[in-house]
Amino acid sequence: MTKKLFPFCLPLITIGYWLLAIGSARAADAYILENQLIGGQTSVSGPAEYIRIFFIFGLGLIGVVALFAVVFGGIRYSLSGSSETGKTEGKKWIFGALTGIVLLFSSYLILKTINPDLVSLKNPVLPIIEIDVPEPPAQNIINAYGSHTGKLPSQITFSNPKYPNMEQEFNEKASNSMRQAVAGLPIPVVITSFWRPNGSPTSDHYNAKAIDIWTDNMTDDQIRTVMDYLNNNPAVSKTITGRLPQMNMLFGNSHDYGAKTNSDHVNHIHVSFY
């Protein structure tokens, strides 16, 4: 009899457990499906609903199998005649199927008695992860939209008696890319020239597209640090210094401006921007 009970009892217990456990896991919100599921259902509330539908189908399938087992046992019992072996086999099939059905409907109570959590299946819920976003550095003068939001870092100073309003003019006239490049200079610098409205109309200073950085207070290593930064900045089009003329640059390439130009820039770095 044990051999006949096992094929029906175990699947029926499993199906009953999942069906009853998932039945309470349905949510209010439904998702519309592109293709109908078994039984013509066109919407589900989540993964648990999917499982519930397929186990309902499995329950029906097992029920049909159990019905055929009862019918098969009944036919075998009826056709056994005086054969005790046939009658016994028929009874085993019928008893096995009926026992499986009883265990199916009692499985919920059995599992709930063992542990109520076993019959409380819910749709998965992803945890909310909170991330602390650090405040932007105070020296950042350009916001995400490219507009001016404040002063340059304190390490950038403007000093020239000829141009007392140079810092204000820089904040008003310099392009966003120019301000970003100046704000990122790796060491403290002194800017001695920016906009020259009385200069030549073709001059970068006249068009507010150039600055001069004082170098008399800088070592060669400091000049080299500044020149390396400027020559690799995509906003910079030209650099000239008479102290390290081998580092002069024009449009991304090393350039020799000649002895006269170098001597005119021996005490400062000229920087032009696109």
Q: Does residue 187 share a domain with residue 86?
A: no
Q: Does residue 177 share a domain with residue 112?
A: no
Task: Report whether pLDDT(204) > 80.
Answer: yes
Q: Does residue 163 share a domain with residue 95?
A: no
Q: Does residue 112 share a domain with residue 26?
A: yes
Q: Is residue 146 part of a domain?
A: no
Q: Is residue 247 part of a domain?
A: yes
Given 73, 104, 119, the domain boundary residue is 119
Task: Report whether pLDDT(73) > 70.
Answer: yes
Q: Is residue 151 part of a domain?
A: no
Q: Is residue 95 part of a domain?
A: yes
Q: Does residue 243 share a domain with residue 186?
A: yes
Q: Rounded to an integer, what distance in angstroms lies between the CA atom of residue 186 and that of residue 232? A: 13
Q: Does residue 177 share a domain with residue 251?
A: yes
Mean pLDDT of 102-123: 74
Q: Rounded to an integer, what distance in angstroms lies between the CA atom of residue 204 and that of residue 53? A: 74
Amino acid at 13: I
Q: Which of 271, 132, 257 is closest to 213 using CA atoms?
A: 271
Q: Does residue 91 share a domain with residue 22?
A: yes
Higher pLDDT, 254 or 133: 254
Higher pLDDT, 29 or 116: 116
Task: Report whether pLDDT(125) > 80.
Answer: no
Q: Rounded to an integer, what distance in angstroms lies between the CA atom of residue 154 and that of residue 178? A: 17
Q: Which two tokens stand for residue 163?
A: 């141009």
Q: Which of 4-8, 96-100, 212-216 has the highest mean pLDDT?
A: 212-216
Task: Report whether pLDDT(164) > 60.
Answer: yes
pLDDT score at 119: 64
Q: Cα 144 vs. chain centroid, distance in angstroms?
A: 19
Q: Does residue 111 share a domain with residue 17?
A: yes
**Pairing outcome for strands 189-193 and 156-158:** parallel
Q: Does residue 96 share a domain with residue 27?
A: yes
Domain count, the chain: 2
Task: Report whether pLDDT(111) > 50.
Answer: yes
The owner of tokens 């409907």 is 105
Task: Report whether pLDDT(165) > 70.
Answer: yes
Q: Rounded to an integer, what distance in angstroms lies between the CA atom of residue 167 and that of residue 159? A: 9
Task: Report whether pLDDT(8) > 70.
Answer: no
The CATH number of the domain where 175 resides is what? Answer: 3.30.1380
- What H or E segment, with its residue span, contains residue 253? strand 253-254
Higher pLDDT, 7 or 251: 251
pLDDT score at 261: 93
Q: Does residue 256 share a domain with residue 182?
A: yes
Q: Rounded to an integer, what distance in angstroms lies between the CA atom of residue 209 and that of residue 95? A: 97
Report DSSP letters for 60-129, one per residue.
Answer: HHHHHHHHHHHHHHHHHHHHTTT-HHHHHHHHHHHHHHHHHHHHHHHHHHHHHHH-GGGG------PPPP
Burial classification of residue 262, based on how many CB atoms lie within 10 Å of its CB (0-12 exposed, 13-18 middle, 19 or more buried): middle
Cα torsion 120, 126, 127, 128 to 10°: value is: -140
Given 94, 119, 144, the domain boundary residue is 119
Q: Does residue 269 share a domain with residue 192?
A: yes
Given 67, 100, 119, the domain boundary residue is 119
Task: Report whether pLDDT(71) > 60.
Answer: yes
Q: Does residue 267 share a domain with residue 171?
A: yes
What confidence tens digit (pLDDT) does each residue in 31-67 have? 677 777 666 677 777 776 777 777 777 777 877 888 8
Q: Is residue 133 part of a domain?
A: no
Task: Report whether pLDDT(166) > 60.
Answer: yes
Mean model confidence pLDDT for the chain: 79
Q: Is residue 139 part of a domain?
A: no
Q: Rounded to an integer, what distance in angstroms lies between the CA atom of residue 13 and that of residue 28? A: 28
Q: Domain of 216?
A: 156-273
Q: Rounded to an integer, what distance in angstroms lies between the CA atom of residue 231 and that of residue 253? A: 9
Q: Which of 102-106, 133-137, 205-209 is predicted least confidently? A: 133-137
Q: Is residue 108 part of a domain?
A: yes
C-beta separation of 233 from 239 below 8 A: no
Task: Report whether pLDDT(136) > 80.
Answer: no
Tell me how crowded residue 13 is: count the other CB atoms within 10 A of its CB: 18
Q: Is residue 147 part of a domain?
A: no
**Pairing outcome for strands 156-158 and 236-241:** unpaired
